[in-house]
Amino acid sequence: MSLNFWRRAIWVCVCSGTVLMCSCASPPAPSPSPFGETKAQHDARMGWWREARFGMFIHWGLYAEHGNELNGRRGGRYSEWLVQGIPNEEYEKLVDRFNPTEFDADAIVRLAQQAGMKYIVITTKHHEGFSMWNSESNPYNVMATPWRRDAMKEMAEACRRHDMRLGWYYSVLDWHHPDYLPRRKVDQRSVEGADYNRYVEFMKAQLTELLTSYGDIAVVWFDGDWEKGPEQHRSREIVDLIHALQPRTIVNNRIGLPMDYDTPEQRIPEDDIPQRDWETCMTINSSWGYNKFAQDWKPSAELIRHLADIASKGGNFLLNIGPDGKGRVTPQDTERLRVIGKWMEVNGESIHGTGATVFRSSASTPWGRCTVKKLEGNRTRLYLHVFDWPKDGKLVVPELGNTPARTSLLSAPGSALEATAGNDGVVIQVPQAQPDPANSVVVLEFEDPVATYHAPQFDAPASEMIGPMDIALFTPCDQLEIHYTLDGSQPTSTSPLYAKPLRLTDTTTIKARSFYQARAVSEVVASMYSRVAPRPAEGIEAPRPGLEYQYVEKDFKTVAELEAYLASDAPRTTGKVASFDLGSRERDENFGMVFSGLIRIPKDGVYRFEMTCDDGAQLWVGDKLVADGDGLHGPEAFSGTVALSKGLQPLRLVYFNGSGGRFLEAKWALAGRPLAPVEDQSLALAE
Ligand code: FHN
């Protein structure tokens, strides 16, 4: 799936459901909903979140009280992690000290609002396991403190009063609950009798409380899922519970399932922009929870630029504050949010309700970033976020083709700036003095569709074919024309004009280039498609159902380590299974399994295989490595294609789990068709 397609798809949704500049051939969107909604239903549920762009994260728990120092012991970078090295009996004493008499939920909500934030996500329970609400399922909660106030109730009421959306952060990882496993090193409690399934029931009970007693909850923001996989967390059951209790709630991805959006932490994607909804969460100093030692505060200007950077890439910014043990927002957090708020007062429209840049990447606007808003009809506004003000008064937008109808500074709407389109893009005459040293926004308003320069992209089911195959070419901008060649020559404005998918029957290299008003505006891009003979099937007469497996135990980090171990005379268990089933393993971590057998190919064709694994795996079909998911990682999908003849084809899947969650799933289909799970009936063993 092309990055631009997704950027554009998300952008289209942001712009109040209005479709813009998008009639080029584009790949079909996969089902975007984790709850089986239609795309329209999913978009409607995500609508406010995509419009919001900016939210407040609050880390507040017992860790606020110690501020990263307890009984002479100092924590690492994150104050909320100090508990990791402290026995529970010692840490629990904080409960008697926690008395944040200056906590003022209304003031916090107002601060968020003034900063231009549209939602708040607050920690209900962090890894320390302490519940910040009056939890019936857990006496280790805020009502056991001298303070005896339900902090989450106060937040919920304040948010309702100020019309602010509220989300719950909930840590799956819990270093206090007796059923949570694994234990920390300092935790001497026996694991005998600890039952993770009972812990899951506890989480469900807590989430039920949080989603039934506090009104509308906009987001559930999971965290700390990494010690186990979705199977052990029973993630599906948990998210279905959330959906049943509050069908409009948006759920983040940290529960071992992809869910509604991704959550890059402490970083803004550069070129690896997620092809899904996403939100960067970030601290203002270096800690999430209040840490009296962390004085490395980011300057307001940096945060303002981060906000523009994230919005220009189609993401949201969840900026964290860590109130202290008295419940006070630190003066440093407050000051920065006030400065951001002042900037947002003037420039908020360049953030809220905007979509990702229409240019190729952030490098296309070397002086800053661009966000976009679609107005009615063809009217479009580009917001140029200028971080580096041009010394010569000429702001050059190199990949823009047409002159805007109106150009002004967002801080001075009446100011008409002169803009001229030429061979080098559009040049805007700006005043010598930079209006805002952090980020000055120049608005370009277009009455006609905006012409931006992009290289053509290819949409093909595979790079190999055994018969005719259709290849589509597209760019995200309808104003461009694509000229192409099939004979290896460079495309010019007199080369064939792309109008509909190209049908290839033999090995061919397509070269293509974008043109605007007969002028080449992109580099030449090339893609080769090879005609191949499908791998002949094995001549096996009477196959039996199932696969063979080998199971070995060791701390593997790569498939190569596992293969070397298998090649030795290391001890192993072998047997037969119906499919790629990890059920025959004897432990949950540090093991490897190899499945081998045959797959029934229904007809000659190029097939796509997709394997999702946690940790590493490699899938071989015939003698081709089709999907390579080697290494230690969370659940991730890997895919590839192979040309196969009808009949039985050898297949081998090598999988290992280091520590944490384990997961393995394989899907397949003829290339270009929707993938479906590899079913037991498709798998076989030679006699
Ligand atoms: O371990 C936590 C950390 O304390 C903090 O809550 C952040 C916020 O995204 N999340 C975890 C690490 O991914």
Is the model's pLDDT at 316 over the cut of 60? yes
Interval 227-247 mean pLDDT? 94
CA angle (94 as vertex; 88, 100 as ends), nearest 5: 150
Reported pTM? 0.88
Ligand 1: centre distance to CA 73 (Å): 21
Is the model's pLDDT at 8 over the cut of 60? no
Ligand 1: centre distance to CA 279 (Å): 14
Query: What percent of the chain is modeled with pLDDT above 70?
Result: 95
Interval 540-563 mean pLDDT? 96
Per the structure block, which two tokens stand in for 269?
């994607």
Burial 391-424 (b: 16+ CB within 10 A, else e): eeeebbbebbbbbbeebbbbeeeeeebebebeee
With a 6 Å cutoff on the Cβ, whether 60 touches ligand 1 is no
Does 457-531 match 362-446 at the fold level? yes
Ligand 1: centre distance to CA 223 (Å): 7
Q: Is 639 helix (H, G, I), strand (E, B) or coil?
A: strand
| Among candidate residues 418, 384, 383, 388, the one with its CA nearest the CA of residue 403 | 418
Ligand 1: centre distance to CA 289 (Å): 10
Is the model's pLDDT at 7 over the cut of 70? no
Interval 222-229 mean pLDDT? 93
Interval 107-111 mean pLDDT? 98
Nearest CA to ligand 1 atom 3: 288
Per the structure block, which two tokens stand in for 533?
């003979």
Instruction: Give tens-digit pLDDT for 496-509.
Output: 999 999 999 999 99
The sign of the torsion formed by the CA atoms of 25, 30, 32, 38 equals positive
Q: Which atom of ligand 1 is nearest to the CA of 123?
A: 6
Is the model's pLDDT at 515 over the cut of 50? yes
Its CATH class, for the domain covering 49-345, is alpha beta
Whether 119 and 317 have beta carbons less than 8 Å apart is answered as: no
With a 6 Å cutoff on the Cβ, whether 80 touches ligand 1 is yes
pLDDT of residue 32: 61
Nearest CA to ligand 1 atom 1: 224
| Residue 5 pLDDT grade (very low, low, confident, very high; cuts 50, 70, 90) | very low
Pairing between β-strand 683-685 and β-strand 544-545 as defined by DSSP bridges: antiparallel
Per the structure block, which two tokens stand in for 156?
């919920």
pLDDT of residue 297: 98
Burial 342-359 (b: 16+ CB within 10 A, else e): bbbebbbbbbbbbbbbbb
With a 6 Å cutoff on the Cβ, whether 180 touches ligand 1 is no
Ligand 1: centre distance to CA 236 (Å): 22
| Residue 27 pLDDT grade (very low, low, confident, very high; cuts 50, 70, 90) | very low
Nearest CA to ligand 1 atom 6: 288
Distance, in Å, from the CA atom of 70 to the CA atom of 61, rounded to the nearest integer, reads 14
Instruction: Give tens-digit pLDDT for 80-91.
Output: 999 999 999 999
Ligand 1: centre distance to CA 75 (Å): 15
The sign of the torsion formed by the CA atoms of 295, 299, 304, 310 equals negative
Q: Which residue has the tokens 């902090």?
A: 151
Residue 181, by phi and psi: left (phi above 0), alpha (psi -120 to 50) or beta?
Answer: beta
Residue 481, beta-bridge partner list: 515
Query: What percent of the chain is modeled with pLDDT above 90?
Result: 89
| Among candidate residues 687, 654, 684, the one with its CA nearest the CA of residue 547 | 684
Q: Which CATH architecture has domain 457-531?
A: Sandwich (2.60)
Nearest CA to ligand 1 atom 4: 80
Instruction: Give tens-digit pLDDT for 319-368.
Output: 999 999 999 999 999 999 999 999 999 999 999 999 999 999 999 999 99
Q: Is 7 helix (H, G, I), strand (E, B) or coil?
A: helix
Ligand 1: centre distance to CA 572 (Å): 39
Is the model's pLDDT at 23 over the cut of 70? no
pLDDT of residue 29: 36
With a 6 Å cutoff on the Cβ, whether 265 touches ligand 1 is yes
Helix (H) or strand (E) holding 58: strand 54-58
Decide which of 105 and 4 is more confident: 105
With a 6 Å cutoff on the Cβ, whether 78 touches ligand 1 is yes
pLDDT of residue 517: 94
Ligand 1: centre distance to CA 59 (Å): 9
| Residue 687 pLDDT grade (very low, low, confident, very high; cuts 50, 70, 90) | confident
pLDDT of residue 123: 99
The distance from CA 195 to its chain's CA centroid, rounded to whole angstroms, is 31
From 280, 288, 318, give the residue whose CB has the most ligand 1 atoms within 8 Å, as the site to mutate.
288
Q: Which CATH architecture has domain 362-446?
A: Sandwich (2.60)
Distance, in Å, from the CA atom of 438 to the CA atom of 527, rounded to the nearest integer, reads 42
Residue 618 dihedral angles phi and psi, to the nearest 5°: -135, 140
With a 6 Å cutoff on the Cβ, whether 57 touches ligand 1 is no
Q: How many residues does the chain have?
A: 687
Interval 251-270 mean pLDDT? 95
Q: How far is CA 295 from CA 251, 289, 328, 408, in A?
A: 32, 13, 16, 39
Interval 633-649 mean pLDDT? 94
Q: Which atom of ligand 1 is nearest to the CA of 254?
A: 13
Residue 141 dihedral angles phi and psi, to the nearest 5°: -145, 175
Residue 261 per-residue DSSP state:
B
Ligand 1: centre distance to CA 412 (Å): 40
Ligand 1: centre distance to CA 313 (Å): 23
pLDDT of residue 1: 28
Instruction: Give tens-digit pLDDT for 29-59.
Output: 344 688 989 999 999 999 999 999 999 999 9
With a 6 Å cutoff on the Cβ, whether 221 touches ligand 1 is no
Whether 528 and 462 have beta carbons less than 8 Å apart is answered as: no
The beta strand positions in 630-687, using DSSP E, are 636-644, 647-657, 663-670, 676-677, 683-685
Average pLDDT of the chain? 93
Distance, in Å, from the CA atom of 489 to the CA atom of 481, rounded to the nearest integer, reads 18
Nearest CA to ligand 1 atom 5: 288
Query: How buried is 623 (Cβ within 10 angstroms: 0-12 exposed, 13-18 middle, 19+ buried)?
Result: exposed
Helix (H) or strand (E) holding 302: helix 300-312
Per the structure block, which two tokens stand in for 412?
């001075």
Q: Is 618 helix (H, G, I), strand (E, B) or coil?
A: strand
Pairing between β-strand 250-251 and β-strand 219-223 as defined by DSSP bridges: parallel
Nearest CA to ligand 1 atom 10: 223
Question: What type of residue sits at position 18?
Answer: T
Helix (H) or strand (E) holding 154: helix 151-162
End-to-end CA distance of the chain: 40
With a 6 Å cutoff on the Cβ, whether 277 touches ligand 1 is no
Q: Which CATH architecture has domain 544-685?
A: Sandwich (2.60)
Whether 552 and 591 have beta carbons less than 8 Å apart is answered as: yes
Q: State the virtual CA torsion across 169, 174, 175, 181 in degrees, nearest 10.
A: -150
Ligand 1: centre distance to CA 501 (Å): 47
Is the model's pLDDT at 577 over the cut of 70? yes
Q: How far is CA 449 from CA 4, 313, 521, in A?
A: 18, 20, 17
| Residue 22 pLDDT grade (very low, low, confident, very high; cuts 50, 70, 90) | very low
With a 6 Å cutoff on the Cβ, whether 223 touches ligand 1 is yes
Residue 325 per-residue DSSP state:
T
With a 6 Å cutoff on the Cβ, whether 288 touches ligand 1 is yes
Contacts of residue 236, Cβ cutoff 8 Å, sequence gap at least 6: 230, 257
* Three-state helix/strand/coil letters over 174-195: CCCCCCCCCCCCCCCCCCCCCC
Query: How buried is 613 (Cβ within 10 angstroms: 0-12 exposed, 13-18 middle, 19+ buried)?
Result: buried
Is the model's pLDDT at 63 over the cut of 70? yes
Per the structure block, which two tokens stand in for 347?
């420039």
Interval 548-565 mean pLDDT? 97
From 68, 80, 223, 253, give the residue whose CB has the most ligand 1 atoms within 8 Å, as the site to mutate.
223
Is the model's pLDDT at 173 over the cut of 50? yes
Instruction: Give tens-digit pLDDT for 135-158.
Output: 999 999 999 999 999 999 999 999
Distance, in Å, from the CA atom of 112 to the CA atom of 115, rounded to the nearest integer, reads 5
Ligand 1: centre distance to CA 227 (Å): 13
Ligand 1: centre distance to CA 118 (Å): 21
The beta strand positions in 554-646, using DSSP E, are 573-577, 591-601, 605-614, 617-621, 624-629, 636-644
Domain ranges for the chain:
49-345, 362-446, 457-531, 544-685
Is the model's pLDDT at 598 over the cut of 80? yes
With a 6 Å cutoff on the Cβ, whether 481 touches ligand 1 is no
